[in-house]
Structure 1
Amino acid sequence: MQKILFERKNEQREFPLLDQKISQWQLWAIIIFVAFGFIGWITFAANVQPKTVWGLILATSLLPFAIILGGFYFLSNGAASTLFKLPKLRDWGFALVMVVLETIYSIVIGMVLNHLHIATNVNAVASNISNSGDKIKTLQIVLGTDLFNLMGEEILSISVFLAIAGLLFHYFGRNRKVALGIAYFLSLFIFGLLHYHTYNWNLAQLLLVLPGERFFLTGIYIRTKSIWPSFAMHYLFDGGIFLITALA
C-alpha cells in the first residue's frame, strides 16, 4: 500500500472514504454538505445573540455541530464513526511534536508578514476576548463553546480531505499516494478560505497562515487515523492564544 507523508510504513489502520469505497455522489455530497454547512454555521453564529450562556452554547455550537456530524455520519454510511477510534499512546507524542512545530510556524510566518509590511487581522474570537469587560468570563465561554466548534473544524478538514482523496482514488484514476497528496493540499486551502469571517477576508492569513497551521493538524490525523489527537492539539493551540489574550 502506497503511503503518504506522516503515515507509518507498517501502518495497518485505514482511512475511511478512501480505503473503504462508497459511491461518488456520497463523496461529493459530503464535501458540499460539510463545507456549506460550516459556512452556514459561522454565518448563523455571527448573527445570533442568545440571552444566556447556555443558549449561546446550544444555538451557536452544540446544535450546528450535531447537524454537521449527523449529516456526515449519514452520507458516509456510518464511516464517520471510525474517525473517533481511540489513538495509540505513541500517537500523542507525535501530536505534541506537531503542535510545537505549528506554533513555531505561526510565529515565523507572522514575523515574515510583518517584515514584508503585509497587514493581518486579529482573530475575531481573540478580539471579542480582548474587548470584553470581563475577559476571564469570556475566555471561559469561548473554551466551552470551542469544545464543539473546534471538533466541528476537525470534522470539516478531515472529511473534506478524505472525500477528495476518495474521489481521486476511486473515480478519477489517481493512485493512493497521489490522491492523498492532492487532497491534503486542497483541504488546507479550503480550511483557510472557510475562515473568511474570522479574519475579515485577509487573504494573507487565509492562504498562508491558516493552511500552514492546518498542515500540522491534518498531519496528526494522517499519522494517528484518529480525530482525537488533532482535536486536542487544535484546542491546545487555540486555547493558548485565547488565554494569552485574556491575560494581556
Structure 2
Amino acid sequence: MTETPDYPYYAGEPTLLGARQWLILMAALALGFAGLVLIPLGTFPLDLVPALLFLGIPLLALRWVAGPHWAALFRPVGFRQVGQMVLFAVLTLAGSMAVALILKQFVSFSDNPVSLQVGEMTALELAGRLIPTIPQLIGEELFGILPFLAVLWLCITRLGLSRRTGIAIALVISALIFGAAHLPTYDWNFGQALIGIGSARIFLTLAFIATRNLWVSSGAHILNDWTGFLFAFALGHAPIDTES
C-alpha cells in the first residue's frame, strides 16, 4: 500500500507556495466567484460560461503559481475513490440534515431558489440545468480547498502552530468563507449560510482530508447536490390526489 501523501503546497510537497502565490490564488478565486454571480444566466449552453469561468480562472492561477505541480490536488480515481465519493456524499447529506433540524429550532430558513425552479422544470430542462453544475461544483471545491490550504500554510509557516491545530483552524475558517459566499443565495440568512452551509462544507473538506483527492470531494459534492435537485424535481412532479 502507498502512504497517503501530505497536503500539497503548504509545506513544500510537491512545491512550496509563498505569500505572493497564495494571494494570487485567493484573488483568482474572488475573480472566478464574481464571474459566477455577476454574469447573467442564460439557457443551456450559455449558462456554462459563468460556471467554466468559476472553475477555469482559479485553475489557471494554480497552474501559474505551482507550475507542473498544479495537478497535485487531483489524484487517480478508481473503484475505491468512487466508493469514497458515495460515502462522503451520504455523510454530507446526513450531517447537513441533522444540522438543519437543530438549526431550525433557532432560526428561520430561506428557500434555495434553484430548488424551487427545479420543481417546475421538465426532464429536459432539468438535464440542461444539471450539466453546468458539474464545472461549478468542481469550482466550489477549489473555493473550499484552496482557502483551507492557504490558512493551513499561514498557521504553520507564519504563526508557528502545530499541524493538528492548523488543520482544525483551516477547516473552520474555510467553512465560514464558503458559507459566507452563499449568503446572497439564502437572503443573507447568516445562521443558515454560515452554520448550515458551513457544516456541509466541513464534511466535504473532510473528504479531501481523508483522501487528498479533490476528485473525491467534488464527486461527493455533485452527488449531494444532485440528490437535492432530483428530490425537488420528483416532489414537484408527484401526482396530486384530488380525491377527498
- Residue 89 of structure 1 and its aligned partner are, at CA, apart by 4.8
2:153 pairs with 1:143: no
Q: Does residue 28 in structure 1 map to residue 34 in structure 2? A: no
Larger RCO: 1 or 2 (CA < 8 Å, sep 6+) = 1
Alignment of 1:183-202 (within 5 A): 183-202=170-189
1:199 is paired with a residue whose SS is coil
Q: Say if 1:169 and 1:153 are closer, same or farther in 2 by CA, change over 3 A.
A: same
Shift in alpha-carbon separation, 1:223–1:141, aligned structure 2, 3 A: same
Relative distance call for 1:12 and 1:127 in structure 2 (3 A) is same
What is the aligned-residue RMSD (CA, Å)? 2.1
- Cα deviation, residue 124, structure 1: 2.5
Q: Which amino acid aligns with 1:123?
A: N
Q: CA deviation at 1:210?
A: 0.8
Residues 24 and 171 in structure 1, CA contact (< 8 A), matched pair in contact too: no
SS at match of 1:191: helix
Q: Does 1:53 align with 2:44?
A: yes
Kindly, what percent of the aligned residue pairs are identical? 25
Matched, 1:16 2:44: no
TM-score after normalising by structure 2:
0.85
Q: Deviation per CA, 1:24-82: give whole Å up to 9, x if none.
A: 22123322331x1243033224xx143x522222x222233222211232133443311
C-alpha distance after superposition, 1:79-103 (max 9, x if no partner) = 3311111146544444433322222
Aligned residues: 231
Q: Within 1, Cα distance between the matches of 2:207 and 2:122?
A: 31
2:65 to 70, 75, 99: 75
Gaps (5+ residues) in structure 1?
Answer: 1-9
What secondary structure does 1:18 align onto? coil
Change (3 A) 1:90 1:56: closer
Letter in 2 for 1:148: P
Q: TM (normalized to structure 1)?
A: 0.84
